[in-house]
Structure 1
Amino acid sequence: MATSNSVDIKAWIDQRPVGRYQWLILGLCFFIVLFDGVDVAVMGFIAPAVMQDWALSKAAFGPVMSAAMFGLAAGALLAGPFADRIGRKKVLLLAVTLFAVLSLACAFARNPYELAILRFFTGIGLGAAMPNTTTLLSEYLPQRLRSVLITVMFTGFNLGSGAGGFVAAWLLKHYDWHAVLLVGGLLPLALLPALWLWLPESARFLVVRRAPDEQVAKLMRPLGGVFPAGTRFTSEEPAIARRLPLATLFNERYRLGTWALWATYFMGLMVIYLLMGWLPTLMRDAGIAVDEAARTTGLFQIGGAVGALLVGWLMDRHQANRVISLAYLGGALFIAVLGLIGLGSSALTLVVMLAGFCMSGAQTGLNAYAPGYYPTEARATGVSWMLGIGRFGAIFGSIIGGVVLGLGMGMDLLFITLALPAVIASLAILVNARAARRLSAHGPVTTV
């Protein structure tokens, strides 16, 4: 695996403890994902106030809610192939700049048409950031701790979405919805200097791209290594044909697992975004104050942050696909219960937290699992396309939510029906487990 002048970069990282430099990378990625979570969820928190301010119906506001979802899908689909060609850091810096600046611009939108257009382009930045934080961090972590530490990073998304509800509630009470969007843009803008200075490029990406060994050594030394001049860095992974990264996702080795990951992510996001996007509006219609509705919805993601940590911890100790599958099943159960108890129940906040615990825990676990299914040369593409295709589930959830609520469907039927996609997600990730076993039977499975 390694000699005095040859170092297998993955094996070297796997054999060492997690050091301060890796914690710095995790922290920077955590804050990217935190602010991503704030911005993705923000429209759900301010939707009642915007609709009241502009005298919009739920159906009319649906396109505004879904505009960012289309942008998220486009950003993810575009960013992965670029990151597998030009690097993870460059794409991340561009993505954070884009969603920060455009979130500020959204605060000055004069009508729903302007807001929808600006939210679409904001979504492109948001969609490009998420998969590249996952890919970059995964390539700096030892395999034995990969799942739990990636889920630690992804708790930033849950905490950002959840804390955003509390911040939005306070700002809506003292100012208006414009202030919420301003804060959502200023926070990631303030993070950019730290990303320029301290966020590294992926050393494993540079190895497979045959960058000079000294450039790789410069990135590896802060991890605690001593690499004399002449050290060669290698990456022992299953060979793939030289082709576009996207083609790798559909070759005979990866095709089945790719489809299964897409189906799982699609169904999971459809459920999560319908709940986050429309639960505040449902609660307001039930006579609950706007600020209280925002806080309760925020608890869904707070519960998800705790669930993600547990799911990640279990994934590193048990069969990862089964852990994710069981979490989705738990989410289906609590979503169905949410519909049965009604929005006026005293148990509402507890059930919302438990639904978030399972659903967001499973979804975050899937983010941690996916990078290990693909080789380095196609990893960013594999992760970003899973997220991009999955975003269409979020779009579908946002649109159908506005339509269904406009028809006056009962909440019990709505939530019970909503549990079904979570069951499908639970089954689909087990199909990926079968695909992973087939990969193992035909040679070594690529692991992060």
Structure 2
Amino acid sequence: MATQDALEVAATAPMNRFHFGLLFWCSFIMLFDGYDLVIYGSVVPHLMEQWQLPAVQAGWMGSAALFGMMFGALTLGPLADRFGRRRVILAAIALGSLTAFANAFAWDAWSFATFRFITGIGLGGTIPNIVALINDMAPKARRNIMTTIMLGCYSLGALLSAVVALMVLSRFGWESTFVIAGLPLLTLPWMYRFLPESLPYLVVRDKVAATALLRRIQPKLVIEQLHWPSLDTQRISAPVSGLFTEGRGVRTIALWVGFGMCLLMVYGLNTWLPKIMVAGGYPMVSGLMFLVTMNLGSIMGALGAGWLADRWGSKPTLMMSLTLAVVSLSILGIKPGPVLLNVMLILAGAATIGSLSVIHAFAAQQYPSDIRATGISWCSAVGRLGGIAGPALGGLMLSLNLSMQLNFILCAVPGVIALLAIALVTQREARAASPVQLHDINI
């Protein structure tokens, strides 16, 4: 009688209701992650006016959430390899949404930054784990597109934040935008019911639950023909050390640099694009619309990059996206006419978010499943240094009163660095390392 490995069921199953449900909830989570992060760029002019903040201090306030994301990715992300992705995701959502809501009641810059930092911890624990969950559960042929659709919802959330700001800021004040950020708290009971645990995690710890999950993934599965990997509970080296073994050292460092530069571009632009354009002579009323235009391009870029990555491969698509980001940002610096301006904003949004979406999928392919969440988490955490630098350096750049052309050239430099880093990473699919081992996580 022919047998099928339990872990291969998820990789070879056709898309069905289970996969669409998984994609829906992970995308919903990412939607509000994008909203929570980018809403700061919409409210920062109001905060600077209300609290009399200089650009440099406002930049560091924008970096507070990214500091938190680095800490959250570094701690909550790897813990999911040991305690389960579902538990960590739900706890991180509760923490992040509660403190995002609390920002509506901040009384000064310090309280605002503190709440943003704690919100970032929750977001940092959420993003790498939903990426890993998709890669654990999605059919192999659809992993890239499912990952990039989900990450594309970050851009949809960013777009939503600018649209919401246009609708409510003048009537209800900046506080109202953070009240909306607390809405995911109301959906936690449904997430608890419908968000699945990772199959590799259940295979080692709960075969009954793993069997039930396999029936959802593949309703026609014949359990009697299923082969279960042996449950080896021997403790092995910490997953973090695995990021530098078996020839993965250069790859890991290059991915860290690539993540950092992609995040620097994304968060720097989403925080300061309106101010950069105003400094270049555009009217203030156009600031939020420029942000809307760029994030509209971001949505198209994330989806288009996923489609291309499934056909060309992750690395060629990533290199093309980074090149497009450098070119479009450089052209924005020459202050083009209205039509070309909007085209370049759309392309810049598509290329920067497209790069960030694909690099997540690319990184996930570089590590075996037993250290995948750890690998993505460390890429995300170390990359947060670039993300943290984005708002802070943007504030410093604006304080120097540079020309618009030089401002956008500086915005394009991280794209060049990312191109050089990713060129060092050899395109490969990670071996199917056994996920049925317990690990000590020693960070």
Q: Same fold (TM over 0.5)?
A: yes
Contact 2:322 2:355 in 1 (8 A): yes
1:121-160: CA deviation from partner (whole Å, max 9, x where unpaired): 1100011111111001111111111101111111111100
2:189 to 188, 193, 196: 193
**Residue 142 in structure 1 maps to residue 142 in structure 2:** no
**Residue 127 in structure 1 maps to residue 124 in structure 2:** yes
Q: In structure 2, how many angstroms separate the alpha carbons of the residues matched to 1:26 and 1:335?
A: 32
Q: In structure 1, how many angstroms separate the alpha carbons of the residues matched to 2:387 and 2:274?
A: 17
Contact 2:6 2:227 in 1 (8 A): no
Q: In structure 2, how many angstroms separate the alpha carbons of the residues matched to 1:426 and 1:446?
A: 29
- Tell me which residue corresponds to 1:368: 361
Q: In structure 2, how many angstroms separate the alpha carbons of the residues matched to 1:311 and 1:18?
A: 20
**Residue 302 in structure 1 maps to residue 296 in structure 2:** yes
- Tell me which residue corresponds to 2:229: 234
Shift of 1:445: 6.6
Contact 1:8 1:235 in 2 (8 A): no
1:246 to 221, 229, 240: 240
1:47-446 alignment to 2 at 5 Å?
47-186=44-183, 188-207=184-203, 210-223=204-217, 224-228=219-223, 231-234=226-229, 242-285=236-279, 288=282, 292-341=286-335, 345-433=338-426, 436=428, 444=431
1:313-335: CA deviation from partner (whole Å, max 9, x where unpaired): 11111232111111100110000
Task: Describe the shift of the 1:244–1:86 C-alpha distance in structure 2 as closer, same or farther (beyond 3 A).
Answer: same
Shift of 1:283: 3.3
Give structure 2 stretches of 5+ with no counterpart: 436-443
Shift of 1:269: 0.9
SS in 1 for 2:312: coil
Contact 1:214 1:229 in 2 (8 A): no
- Tell me which residue corresponds to 2:440: none
- Residue identity in the other structure for 1:234: P
Task: Give the TM-score, by structure 2 length.
Answer: 0.92
Identity over aligned residues, as a percent? 33
- Residue identity in the other structure for 1:296: F
SS in 1 for 2:333: helix
Contact 1:89 1:200 in 2 (8 A): yes
Contact 1:172 1:291 in 2 (8 A): no
- Tell me which residue corresponds to 2:30: 33
Shift of 1:218: 0.9
- Residue identity in the other structure for 2:350: F
Q: In structure 2, how many angstroms separate the alpha carbons of the residues matched to 1:118 and 1:322?
A: 39
Shift of 1:386: 0.7
Please report the RMSD computed on the Cα atoms of aligned residues, expressed in angstroms: 2.3
Comparing 213-222 and 111-120, the one that deviates more: 213-222
Shift of 1:285: 4.4
Shift of 1:161: 0.7
Q: In structure 2, how many angstroms separate the alpha carbons of the residues matched to 1:422 and 1:53?
A: 35
1:238-296: CA deviation from partner (whole Å, max 9, x where unpaired): xx982111111121332121111111111111111111111122334456565531232
- Residue identity in the other structure for 2:221: V
Contact 2:321 2:354 in 1 (8 A): yes
Task: Give the TM-score, by structure 1 length.
Answer: 0.91
Shift of 1:99: 0.8
Shift of 1:27: 0.3
Contact 1:373 1:445 in 2 (8 A): no
Shift of 1:346: 5.0
Give structure 1 stretches of 5+ with no counterpart: none
Shift of 1:66: 0.9
Q: In structure 2, how many angstroms separate the alpha carbons of the residues matched to 1:90 and 1:291?
A: 43
1:396-419: CA deviation from partner (whole Å, max 9, x where unpaired): 111111111111111211111221
Q: In structure 2, how many angstroms separate the alpha carbons of the residues matched to 1:194 and 1:79?
A: 22
SS in 2 for 1:234: coil
Shift of 1:345: 4.4
- Tell me which residue corresponds to 2:441: none
- Tell me which residue corresponds to 1:18: 15
Q: In structure 2, how many angstroms separate the alpha carbons of the residues matched to 1:395 and 1:374?
A: 25
Task: Describe the shift of the 1:231–1:17 C-alpha distance in structure 2 as closer, same or farther (beyond 3 A).
Answer: closer
